[in-house]
Structure 1
Amino acid sequence: MAAKLVSILTIVLLLLSCGERAQPYEWDLPQGFPAPDIPENNPMTKEKVALGRALFFARALSFNNTTACASCHLPERAFSEPKARSVGASGVTLKRNASALVNVAYAGTLTWSHNGLRHIEQQLMIPLFADTPIEMGVTNFEDVILARFNTADYKSLTRAAFGDSVLNFDRIVKSLASFVRSLVSFNSAFDDYAYRQIDEALSPSQLRGMELFFSEKMECFHCHGGFNFTQSSKHAFQTLTLKAFHNTGLYNEDGNGAYPIDDQGLIDVTLEGSDMGHFRAPTLRNVALTSPYMHDGSIASLAGVIEFYAAGGRGKGINNPWKSQFVKGFDMTKQERDDLINFLHGLTDESFIKNKNHHPPIPAPSTIIMSHN
């Protein structure tokens, strides 16, 4: 009881330390859905989400005024990007496909292959400050970048969110994390059918595809299970993350299971041989909007993805010794393939894509254009 009281008091004090007008953020969730698990040192407020939204679309946050978070995470693409691999502010092609930022507030782990990144605040440090490769390129340009936001617009947003007008990178990270957490999506045709009990929400073809998705024949649900269609999930009532990383047999460079040396997955973090080629199973919500697919964007279409799993992998990868037991291949008819694709389209949430609060604020808050030299 005492511990619970201390926790409540901590949250209250944190809220009081924000702006005088700061209001707790209200989640738009279906009835009965759990709230996301929010860090105690960064409670959600409407004002922080507003500041984070402005920053998310601000190119001034990159060292050379060329790249915003939204450059690689487009709202109309469910905050993914229609490129195989993203390009950083310096023009260097990155090694991975930009993950869709859908229900990331529920993510138990973050990025394609890191089991230690469990809070968005941690993950944001990589695109902002990493220099190998450069994404936003903030390192060594911190003062220059902060000076660009020394405007009346951003002072007002910062004061509302934090109680004074001083914007620093701790507040930038917390605000960006708050905006990204606000990107929840639970208004697809599947949600209407499964949670709102609207029987006609899914077509006969989509219903057949749903049966295939959850069948032992195709095994999709083993890695893309739960209400967020990924094993990498946690929320207020679930603190444990199920097996989040899998080798799908995409590669087998040496006949012994090796993935391309520039990106070998979870093994690059854990140094455990059994983690070779293990990548996080992403959410399938809005998946029809997030092509190309896989960690390196090497499969162009949903049909291609399904055919890849039907084959049990790709090329030599079919015999990868580290491949998941659930990627064993299956026979399917053209009708079954089409039904499964139609079901995956039933996970698209049009209201999420069109939500004006997920797009750039109009007018955009002003920044100061300065040289990055």
Structure 2
Amino acid sequence: MSHAWKVSAVLGAVLSVGCGEEEGPEPQLAPAYEWRLPAGFPEPFVPEDNPMSEAKVDLGRHLFHDVRLSGNGTLACASCHEQARAFSDGKATPVGSTGHHVPRNAPGLANVAYLGTYTWANPLLETLEAQALVPLFNEVPTELGLAPRLDEVLGRLREDARYPELFRAAFPEEAEPIGKDAIVKALASFQRTLLSGSSPYDRYLQGDITAMTPSAKRGMELFFGETAECYHCHSGPHLSNSFRAKGSVLSGRQFFNTGLYNLDGQGAYPPDNPGLFEFSGKASDQGRFRVPPLRNVALTAPYMHDGSIATLEAVIDHYTSGGRNVTEGPFIGDGRTNPNKDPLVRPFELTAAERADLIAFLESLTDTAFIQDPRFSNPWQ
């Protein structure tokens, strides 16, 4: 199947004649955004108040890679979302611009346009626009730290030689386009273009039977079979059951406890990372998090919401054990007996060869074209 393009023709100016006199041309409509969708991918959902445009995407790319977007000018979005790591950062958890510890792992951003909710456990953030407000303006913990210094940041952008023109092109209807709302919309627009669909796995699905190794193919059978049963949660085009596309109905929020912790024998998780419980207050929601997509997963270590599992091999150990028994440190407890653990997380056995095959399949999800695509790279270099 060839790459699917969503293209609309540009409507030309229309001249009308009335009362024997020729009137001026009507305003030319802006061209529809041309999605460069991987084969078989649906068009992403886009909020009505932030239609896509090339100018917004270009502005968002500049902002995403610019440390001047942080309050103290030391951290960019790209500092925690590096293209070479599929837009993750290789750390257990990030450190914000002011040195604050951020308790949750910085996830990769491949195909983030298709998620139904954003961040690890917030059921209220349904758009990339809403999500962007968290790292930009959150104060506990501070990430980019714009809240007390927004005017200062906007001043930096206005003084730059390039930004005034970029903002005017992206938001031509605004008298003063450089502002908070424009920053948020441009960042969201850029992130919607981070589409990954050229991995060996994708090419195999498109008919290239040589794209995956025999080991990876056997691992795929395990992944989607009844032994490992990974597919129950890691399903759909980007291997997460959190999904939304243009025209789709937003499904019920799905968050799961995988038995990482059990501090008190009754299901408690570390107090700075309680999962969905932080929003619901329900004891049964302790430790429930959104299922992460698996595109480029071999590049996004360490794993889990708090980066507490270092390798894919250790992730497989966790699931074959039916959870994790923490025997030392501040979070001692047997997650395997966590009463809130999803029943699908149960012990099962794999041979050494099967483990290697499952790893080979997960590695086949790596899209080298995505991490090298110049459309996503740092425009300031």
State TM-score, norm by structure 1: 0.90
Structure 2: how far apart are the matches of 1:30 and 1:52?
21
Q: In the alignment, residue 193 of structure 1 is paired with which amino acid?
A: Y
What residue in structure 2 maps to residue 167 of structure 1?
Answer: 178
Deviations 1:16-48 (A, max 9, x none): xxx989653322223443100110100110000
1:261-340 correspondence to structure 2 within 5 Å? 261-315=271-325, 316-340=334-358
Structure 2: how far apart are the matches of 1:354 and 1:92?
31
Rate the CA distance shift 1:66–1:22 in 2: closer, same or farther, 3 A.
Answer: farther
SS at match of 1:201: coil
What residue in structure 2 maps to residue 52 of structure 1?
Answer: 60
* Matching of residue 353 in structure 1 with residue 371 in structure 2: yes
What residue in structure 2 maps to residue 112 of structure 1?
Answer: 120
Deviations 1:102-124 (A, max 9, x none): 11110001000011111011111
Q: In the alignment, residue 214 of structure 1 is paired with which amino acid?
A: F
Contact 1:228-1:283 within 8 A present in 2 as well: yes
What residue in structure 2 maps to residue 367 of structure 1?
Answer: none
Structure 2: how far apart are the matches of 1:242 and 1:185?
25
Contact 1:223-1:244 within 8 A present in 2 as well: no
Number of aligned positions between the proteins: 344
Contact 1:313-1:327 within 8 A present in 2 as well: yes
* Matching of residue 28 in structure 1 with residue 39 in structure 2: no
Structure showing greater radius of gyration is 2
What residue in structure 2 maps to residue 187 of structure 1?
Answer: 198
Give the one of 236, 244, 253 matched to 1:234. Answer: 244
SS at match of 1:28: strand
Cα drift, residue 261 of structure 1: 1.2
Structure 2: how far apart are the matches of 1:125 and 1:240?
21
Structure 1: how far apart are the matches of 2:335 and 2:265?
8
What residue in structure 1 maps to residue 255 of structure 2?
Answer: 245
Q: In the alignment, residue 54 of structure 1 is paired with which amino acid?
A: H
Q: In the alignment, residue 37 of structure 1 is paired with which amino acid?
A: F
What residue in structure 2 maps to residue 14 of structure 1?
Answer: none
Structure 1: how far apart are the matches of 2:65 and 2:277?
33
Q: In the alignment, residue 164 of structure 2 is paired with which amino acid?
A: K
Contact 1:34-1:237 within 8 A present in 2 as well: no
Structure 2: how far apart are the matches of 1:166 and 1:243?
35
1:216-227 correspondence to structure 2 within 5 Å? 216-227=226-237
Deviations 1:269-314 (A, max 9, x none): 1112221100111000000000000000000000000111000000
What residue in structure 2 maps to residue 16 of structure 1?
Answer: none
Structure 2: how far apart are the matches of 1:30 and 1:307?
33
Q: In the alignment, residue 78 of structure 2 is paired with which amino acid?
A: A
SS at match of 1:200: coil
What residue in structure 2 maps to residue 156 of structure 1?
Answer: 165
1:18-167 correspondence to structure 2 within 5 Å? 23-150=31-158, 151-163=160-172, 166-167=177-178
Moved more, 229-238 or 59-68: 229-238
Structure 2: how far apart are the matches of 1:324 and 1:29?
34
* Matching of residue 201 in structure 1 with residue 219 in structure 2: no
What residue in structure 2 maps to residue 255 of structure 1?
Answer: 265
Structure 2: how far apart are the matches of 1:49 and 1:21?
19
Instruction: Provide the identity percentage.
Output: 49
What residue in structure 2 maps to residue 12 of structure 1?
Answer: none
Deviations 1:56-85 (A, max 9, x none): 011111111100000100011000011001
SS at match of 1:284: coil
Cα drift, residue 152 of structure 1: 2.9
Higher percent of residues as helix = 1
State TM-score, norm by structure 2: 0.88
| Structure 1 stretches of 4+ moved >2 Å | 19-25, 30-33, 240-244
